[in-house]
């Protein structure tokens, strides 16, 4: 009997949720854009339970994705789709030149990953820098994004997310006063200001990107954070 009631209660709640969503979608009920599942992603808005949904809808929607990036102030240019090898190529990619921070060089990533970066930079990276150091990050050093290769560069195995520019490797940050914070040297001690900052950045990245790999994962990632929007969820 209890199981029966639980199923009916779950079904009724689902119907109520679908009905409410339908009312919002048809305009019968008006809600603020940040709470509207059909409203476009706004990087400036504080992330909530709908942020991942809105971010996922940018996949395969380059025009909408470009609008999101433009509104967020990212400097970028669209990259033509092309296949560069078996299992390698670019689809809905953008060439990023800078955001509110400077990069050591431009890089090419999928548009949804660029949007995820802007969410991360706005709501994780800069707030963490202010909390730990009282100043902003002004420069980010990366190790690359696109590379037609397998995972770990092995001769056999599945393709890396880098093979489709769906990953970005971050190695360090520079603050407004010139202070540098980099992997692997500043990962320890964990309770030092730089180590604590890097761990907060890693944990916050896990709220935005699908996969985040760093020094706690394995030796291959001791000197950078690997950020990707692939199919596997992992936070290490």
How large is the average pLDDT for residues 48-57? 94
Domains and CATH numbers, the chain: 44-235 (3.30.1380)
Taking only the tens place, the pLDDT of each residue in 161-210 is 999 999 999 999 999 999 999 999 999 999 899 999 999 999 999 999 99
pLDDT greater than 90 at residue 3: no
Contacts of 189 (CB under 8 A, 6+ apart): 195
Q: How confident is the model at residue 82 (pLDDT cuts 50, 70, 90)?
A: very high
CA distance linking residue 95 with residue 114, whole number of Å: 9
Taking only the tens place, the pLDDT of each residue in 83-100 is 999 999 999 999 999 999
Give pTM, 2 decimals: 0.85
How large is the average pLDDT for residues 60-85? 97
Residue 16: what pLDDT?
45
CA distance linking residue 199 with residue 186, whole number of Å: 10
Secondary structure letter of residue 41 according to DSSP:
P
Map residue 47 onto helix, strand or coil: coil
pLDDT greater than 90 at residue 77: yes
How large is the average pLDDT for residues 61-88? 97
Taking only the tens place, the pLDDT of each residue in 206-227 is 999 999 999 999 999 999 999 9
CA distance linking residue 48 with residue 202, whole number of Å: 19
Residue 106: what pLDDT?
97
- Mean of the per-residue pLDDT values of the chain: 90
CA distance linking residue 228 with residue 189, whole number of Å: 26
Taking only the tens place, the pLDDT of each residue in 105-121 is 999 999 999 999 999 99
Q: What CA–CA distances, in Å, run from 172 to 2, 110, 202? A: 54, 21, 12
Residue 13: what pLDDT?
42
Phi, psi of 172 (to 5 degrees): -175, 170
How large is the average pLDDT for residues 25-47? 81
pLDDT greater than 60 at residue 6: no
The proportion of the chain whose per-residue pLDDT surpasses 70, expressed as a percent, equals: 88
Q: How confident is the model at residue 27 (pLDDT cuts 50, 70, 90)?
A: low
């Amino acid at each position: 009997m209890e199981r029966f009631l639980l199923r009916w209660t779950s079904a009724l709640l689902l119907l109520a949720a679908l009905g409410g969503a339908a009312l919002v979608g048809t305009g019968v009920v008006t809600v603020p854009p940040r709470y509207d599942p059909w409203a476009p992603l706004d990087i400036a808005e504080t992330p909530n339970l709908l942020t991942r949904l809105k971010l996922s809808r940018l996949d395969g929607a380059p025009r909408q994705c470009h609008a999101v990036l433009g509104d967020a102030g990212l400097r970028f240019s669209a990259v033509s789709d092309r296949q560069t090898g078996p299992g390698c190529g670019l689809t809905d990619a953008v060439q990023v030149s800078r955001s509110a921070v400077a990069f050591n060089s431009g890089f090419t990533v999928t548009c949804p990953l660029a949007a995820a970066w802007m969410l991360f930079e706005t709501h994780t990276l800069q707030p963490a820098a202010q909390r730990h150091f009282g100043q902003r990050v002004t420069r980010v050093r990366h190790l690359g994004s696109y590379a037609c290769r397998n995972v770990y560069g092995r001769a056999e195995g599945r393709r890396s997310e880098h093979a489709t520019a769906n990953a970005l490797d971050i190695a360090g940050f520079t603050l407004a006063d010139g202070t540098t914070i980099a992997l692997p040297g500043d990962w320890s001690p964990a309770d030092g200001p730089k180590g604590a900052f890097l761990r907060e950045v890693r944990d916050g990245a896990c709220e935005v990107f699908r996969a985040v790999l760093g020094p706690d994962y394995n030796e291959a990632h001791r000197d950078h954070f690997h950020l990707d929007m692939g199919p596997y969820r992992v936070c290490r």
